[in-house]
Structure 1
Amino acid sequence: MKRLVAILFALLPLIVHGQDSDYKITSFLNEGIKAPNTHHIGDAWLNFLLKADNSIDYNITQATFSPNSTLDWHKHTTPQVLIIIEGEGYYQERGKEPIILKKGDVIKCEKDIEHWHTSAVGSKVSYIAIYGSEPTVWTEKLTKEYYDSVAEKLQRN
């Protein structure tokens, strides 16, 4: 019994001074919420890791797209950084050739550059997007036919 009491007294400070519950913790291991098909075709999930507020002027969002999905052309009023954490996807800026992005790749899109990014035909993709607090500007629908032509071209190369 004395041993049990000694152990409890030894552990009590650790229990009392454990992790502060006031911290706001998010995880990119969570899938997030299923996004409505407003600016994409296919299934997508969004995990809002950090939202801009009075103390920070950028968002950090994890997006996961099922294979063979499209995302519409868009731009941001600040640069955007994409960090690919799983799978394979496509990325294209207006006027440039599309490219394949793979796990571990990091790409920066400058502000006001029209672009799109999404999953590859045979792979889902999950990425962390870092971008400003202003809403995304959606510019043009990316058709399934265009997406398919990009996929075919990239698979040949």
Structure 2
Amino acid sequence: MKHLALLFVLLPLSIYAQNSGYSVKSTLSEGMKAPNTHHIGEAWLNFLVEAGGDFNYNITQATFSANSTLDWHKHATPQVVIILEGEGYYQERGKEPIILRKGDVIKCEKDVEHWHTSSAGSEVSYIAVYGSEPTMWTEKLTREYYDGVAQKLKQ
């Protein structure tokens, strides 16, 4: 009887919560497969929030299969990358590459050339927060360069 009374109290609240007029995106998912324009390997993009109005940032979930590359690029605003799952590589021009793992957060300042993607042995899924201006792709990241980074970070 106690459980039945609790059900009558919670059921209307849950219905109200779901119909409250908020725009809620309920789950993270792979999203759509990205064309191989600025990367080698498989990648999926899930555009969680697109810039507009008073909010000038995009929030995108990206998932890369293991052993994928992403080209060198930069943004007109700072970018924050939050690793959700897996392991990836990150490098800014002129600095050593590093490994990023689940829970890691890195901020790249505006106009800093960099790349980030999965590691050789693990897929990676991350949230990227970046400004509304288009990404500036600067240089192709070659398979040879990526393989060298993978070998160096493996040691």
* TM exceeding 0.5: yes
In the aligned structure 2, how far is the partner of 1:55 from the partner of 1:75? 23
Q: How does 1:2-151 map to 2 (within 5 A)?
A: 14=13, 17-20=16-19, 22-27=21-26, 29-151=28-150
Shift of 1:77: 0.3
Identity %: 75
In the aligned structure 1, how far is the partner of 2:12 from the partner of 2:65? 46
Q: Rg larger in 1 or in 2?
A: 1
Number of matched residues? 152
Structure 1, residues 72-131: CA drift from partner, whole Å, max 9, x if none? 000000000000010000000000000000001000000000000000000000110011
Maintained 8 Å contact 1:28/1:49: no
- Report the TM-score when normalising by structure 2: 0.89
- Which segments of 5 or more consecutive residues in structure 2 lack a partner in the other structure? none
In the aligned structure 1, how far is the partner of 2:64 from the partner of 2:103? 17
In the aligned structure 2, how far is the partner of 1:10 from the partner of 1:110? 49
Change over 3 Å in CA distance of 1:33–1:16 after alignment to 2: closer
- Report the TM-score when normalising by structure 1: 0.88
- Amino acid in structure 1 at the alignment position of 2:139: E
In the aligned structure 2, how far is the partner of 1:100 from the partner of 1:11? 45
Alpha carbon RMSD of aligned pairs, Å? 2.2
Shift of 1:25: 1.9
